[in-house]
Amino acid sequence: MKTFEQLIAAKKPVLVDFYADWCGPCKMMPPILREVKEELGDQVTIIKIDVDKNPQVAATYQVRGIPTLIVFKDGQVQWRTSGVIPAPQLKQKLLEFT
């Protein structure tokens, strides 16, 4: 199993969804992420990080509100936002990094 650092070091964009099971808005993200993944396929990797189970990772990237979405490429933060974002907007943003 790859470490978080290995996952985000990829040449293609890696979208990380920081969430928690108890978070209402976070529950709106899975269908949005599925839609984006269906449309972009292998152009992007999407991973979900539970902030309650991975507090170190959340702290490292200063995740204060959830959901927080961060796009990494070559291990570097390219873009971040907090809150729910519609699939078309998210897809457009990810395409900027492919």
Count of H-run helices and E-run strands, the chain:
4, 4
**What is the DSSP annotation of 9-55?**
T-SS-EEEEEE-TT-TGGGGHHHHHHHHHHHHGGG-EEEEEETTT-H
**Catalytic positions, please?**
23, 26
Strands 14-19 and 68-73: antiparallel
